[in-house]
Structure 1
């Protein structure tokens, strides 16, 4: 009987693999058509924002100019971010043939210490309100990107966003989000003034399609443009004129009002915090997977976790397992858990001590050792961080903390069905949009901006919604000694744009929204193309799965060992196998993103654009 059971299991596995591999031989009709372009491509979180990018391209701008216009538009439309949020970008420069990393993440303000929050009875910094805010990063990020790599003026690039601030027809998604959160919004007078134009009525938020006006934000943007134009009249270069506007935001009257409005509402951001903050132009992190170079930001983001996972998976024949077979899902889940356990312990701001062991974490030898821990029969709910220090010739200074981390882990995680807990899952996939742009000159931009989502606390009479990124810090070094809150420090964030090069040329530009699930779904998207030969649109729509076996970067920082979210279309036999292997299954109808991406067709000299089949994300190509 036992032999018969084993034989049946083997045959069933073979059937799964055959069915999965046959996917490549079938014509696939996607729910959204792929985008095609020869001259440029613009894909982002809102159709109107993609139109803003198209307007700039049509005026002769390059992908840098267009991406800045899209970024400004998405901020103005509150597409899960606003002007007080943060911007993270990867840029391919065709002149140098190098990938550049942009770090425009805000920092913890003066007074934001672990003791400060502990004395308020908090286990983590708060999710919402002025105490959740790091310094605004997006305005500085946008202006730095434009000044250093763009061709157009700030006036031209901000024109679409300024028209929107004058008034644009608000879409249902944002309007309803405002209505759902109106009681919280009423705590903050400047937010109430902007978001609730119908105070006292049954519906106090704008209606879908109503013209949404942001007078204060328009004035702030006008000030930036006026400063730039005055500098140009004085003979300043385009670049210096943009930086003059930058200085007005961070050191002038705009900064003064942001600090005043923040303090009035109980926040910590000071004028000095704003003046001291700087955008960083950095080296990205990178690994090579089967001849393709994949680039991410440094470990102040979770991005290197995807690179670690690729290094681990390179030790296995992924393709032979079959797309979304039981063995494929299990192998990826275990590999991701190994990388995310390292993320949860070792990632933080490299500008602050201790120094992250990123060289060891990204070494192929370390990945090979980690891959040996995978149990191919059962999920390991207790997997923890490894020790990458020997792989860069050092001793681990946190061995004692690391040994106790497993005990801490069992105390912290919240068991149960996370999908049924709406608050948990809302936090887990919170925030963020993405901006992808490319042009015929070879410029490629991938941006994952975020922060200041509804319900946002607006800073005084600026129209600038403050970030909520402080919540990604921890207060206890036993959880992560690299990510304890400290004034001037950047929190370790989930935001993670991606670029991939093949044979030294752009291959893929891709990013997605939704918190902790970003890198795990970007990983699967990448494998869909590289291992399973899907087109970019097929890869964007293809059913993915999600591991919940990592600490959430938001709210109460819960985790669910064995938690696995599958697509509702997953076959019964796969569900049964995974349950037997120790997984706690939940389901979603759509699990692919939203991912936005551009694939470079060098054979024909064209672009293919893709966007997942849910959400409002989409683009335009020409």
Structure 2
């Protein structure tokens, strides 16, 4: 089974299966294809993955997120007047992670050559009929694209005309990206010809990207326009294989990446929700929505303050955050009658037998919190572009939901892959003549330890990202593999998807399409360079427009400021493993162009 953000990209995964590849081969083919199609990401972005290894019978985590470059310091960004690093351009970039992550996963756990896996990507780079969604996104972002000469040459194929972006269905050619991919394959094939192993040959392609002629042009093109990334930054970067984090929810082991992502927030929320009879409340009843909302807010308050790159000091108190004792304490804070507009980070340190060194900072941080619950109008979803652009709240919602795609793959041998890649979305800055769009992930750092002492920018550090693939095992065997796009809403959506399946017995397709709620009572991870752009919105609750009037009335009485939307989740992609029948069930929600192919 192969599922991802575009039908053509899902087809690339299916092709690798037809050629005898495993789920890792298929996932890597889909990763390359979505990057080539600018499916809200590019080759210069970042890759986060969970892989189930059927022989080892364990879940492996892949950290292919780039790092802050040389010179990316608090003083540097503050000297330019920023309160957060910028959203766009070369100064928004961490080092590229996706090429290295793809090569590493393929070399270690795949079976095919890079040449075979990148064949669909190279064919599309040579020219494919661009779909309306991407073409129109280019047109909407053309004023920014015009500031960057290399981006302008790639994207604005009708310069000087009224519509400068490609038209829907027009053959979109990316010659320089094709050359970059061909150089990587050439490095692999030359290494094979020299007697290198399959794994060594794929990593030779990795090295050409990060230390060879591709790297030199990438750095030159970036620095020409003020970028900070150096050759040393690229050469020193490596993908990391690490242990995932895990909790048990009613007999199901749920896996997430470590605290350099927001993934543990879903684990924290599940630990809190174990203390409640959710099924007894009823699906999307007022008590259910209230309880899930409160649990998410408690988890996200901890995310906002305590999460960061575990390779740097201070270390996230993750053992305390994921402990059962801490979950019981946080659950006890939930008022069943009303929203807590002043929810704040808890104190997990006693659950690690340590004293919290940040109590004074937390007390000072309260001054940043606005607990005023404001009336809000309808939220018009992004899919209705005209109405969306006219909506007064659209910029905030764009930041909340921004970017990314997701990839799910599974095979008969038992390999399972869940990836949430992102970065380098449109309008993207292309680095020189590489055809590679640079990441915009640096904006997820903070410049003030008052917001989070764990996620302050410094060179070599990974930002705390929203990107969060998920996997679950039952009785030691794959049970669910799932992921979604959508910025800060990702773990909100995935939490509800998981509960839809486990508590309410939905199929993956039903669960992926089911009504979602969203909380805005959290610090935004993306968008805006001022504190006011990112601050939590107390009591802000996004409901499905079909929510019954009596439920809405009950929630209003609990102190919520309610917005309504038609599709309140990014497109969830998922695979369910039916042990009873030995089959796979796929789910791909109707909230985007996401698509699955099974055989």
The separation in 2 between residues aligned to 1:468 and 1:592, in whole angstroms, is 22
Q: C-alpha displacement at 1:217, in angstroms?
A: 0.2
**Equivalence for 1:459:** 431
Is contact 2:371-2:538 (8 Å) kept? no
**Equivalence for 2:388:** none
**Equivalence for 1:111:** 71
**Equivalence for 2:345:** 385
Deviation by residue 1:235-289 (Cα, 9 ceiling, x = unmatched) = 1000000011111100111111110000001110111100011100000000000
The correspondence of residues 76-475 of structure 1 with structure 2, limited to 5 A, is: 76-410=36-370, 419=379, 420-475=392-447
Q: 2:571 aligns with which of 578, 585, 594?
A: 594
**TM-score, with structure 1 as normaliser:** 0.92
Q: 2:538 aligns with which of 556, 561, 566?
A: 561
User: Comparing 416-425 with 285-294, which one deviates more in the overlay?
Assistant: 416-425
**Equivalence for 1:498:** 470
For the residue of structure 1 that corresponds to 2:118, the secondary structure is: helix
Q: 1:73 aligns with which of 30, 33, 36?
A: 33
**Equivalence for 1:61:** 21
The separation in 1 between residues aligned to 2:419 and 2:12, in whole angstroms, is 16
The separation in 1 between residues aligned to 2:402 and 2:373, in whole angstroms, is 19
Is contact 2:283-2:504 (8 Å) kept? yes
Q: C-alpha displacement at 1:573, in angstroms?
A: 0.7
The separation in 1 between residues aligned to 2:369 and 2:539, in whole angstroms, is 14
Structure 1 residues 418, 466: CA separation in 2 closer, same or farther (over 3 Å shift)?
farther
Q: Over aligned residues, Cα RMSD in angstroms?
A: 1.2
**TM-score, with structure 2 as normaliser:** 0.96
For the residue of structure 2 that corresponds to 1:349, the secondary structure is: coil
**Equivalence for 2:508:** 536
Is contact 1:284-1:298 (8 Å) kept? yes
Q: C-alpha displacement at 1:557, in angstroms?
A: 1.8
Q: C-alpha displacement at 1:410, in angstroms?
A: 2.9
Shift >4 Å, 4+ stretches: 411-418
The separation in 2 between residues aligned to 1:162 and 1:399, in whole angstroms, is 53
Q: C-alpha displacement at 1:415, in angstroms?
A: 8.7
Q: C-alpha displacement at 1:591, in angstroms?
A: 2.0
Q: 1:484 aligns with which of 433, 449, 456?
A: 456
**Equivalence for 1:27:** none
For the residue of structure 2 that corresponds to 1:410, the secondary structure is: coil
Is contact 1:412-1:558 (8 Å) kept? no
The separation in 2 between residues aligned to 1:99 and 1:507, in whole angstroms, is 12
The separation in 2 between residues aligned to 1:414 and 1:306, in whole angstroms, is 27
Is contact 1:415-1:561 (8 Å) kept? no
Is contact 1:64-1:150 (8 Å) kept? yes
Deviation by residue 1:172-208 (Cα, 9 ceiling, x = unmatched) = 1100000000000000000000000000001000001
**Equivalence for 2:389:** none
Q: Which runs of 5+ in 1 are unaligned?
A: 1-40
The separation in 2 between residues aligned to 1:418 and 1:511, in whole angstroms, is 27
Q: C-alpha displacement at 1:413, in angstroms?
A: 11
Q: C-alpha displacement at 1:50, in angstroms?
A: 0.3
Is contact 1:133-1:469 (8 Å) kept? yes
The separation in 2 between residues aligned to 1:114 and 1:405, in whole angstroms, is 19
Is contact 1:347-1:356 (8 Å) kept? yes
Asked whether 1:43 is paired with 2:7, we answer no
The separation in 2 between residues aligned to 1:355 and 1:462, in whole angstroms, is 37
Q: Which runs of 5+ in 2 are unaligned?
A: 380-391, 528-532
**Equivalence for 1:525:** 497
The separation in 1 between residues aligned to 2:30 and 2:327, in whole angstroms, is 37
How many pairs align? 582
The separation in 1 between residues aligned to 2:322 and 2:369, in whole angstroms, is 24
The separation in 2 between residues aligned to 1:416 and 1:112, in whole angstroms, is 37
The separation in 2 between residues aligned to 1:412 and 1:247, in whole angstroms, is 52
Is contact 1:540-1:593 (8 Å) kept? no
Is contact 2:376-2:562 (8 Å) kept? no
**Equivalence for 1:36:** none
**Equivalence for 2:383:** none
Is contact 1:564-1:583 (8 Å) kept? yes
The separation in 2 between residues aligned to 1:403 and 1:524, in whole angstroms, is 32
Is contact 1:384-1:405 (8 Å) kept? no
**Equivalence for 1:574:** 551
The separation in 2 between residues aligned to 1:141 and 1:481, in whole angstroms, is 28
The separation in 2 between residues aligned to 1:592 and 1:66, in whole angstroms, is 26
For the residue of structure 2 that corresponds to 1:202, the secondary structure is: coil
The separation in 2 between residues aligned to 1:229 and 1:181, in whole angstroms, is 38
Q: C-alpha displacement at 1:409, in angstroms?
A: 2.1
Structure 1 residues 63, 453: CA separation in 2 closer, same or farther (over 3 Å shift)?
same
**Equivalence for 2:593:** 616
The separation in 2 between residues aligned to 1:405 and 1:344, in whole angstroms, is 12
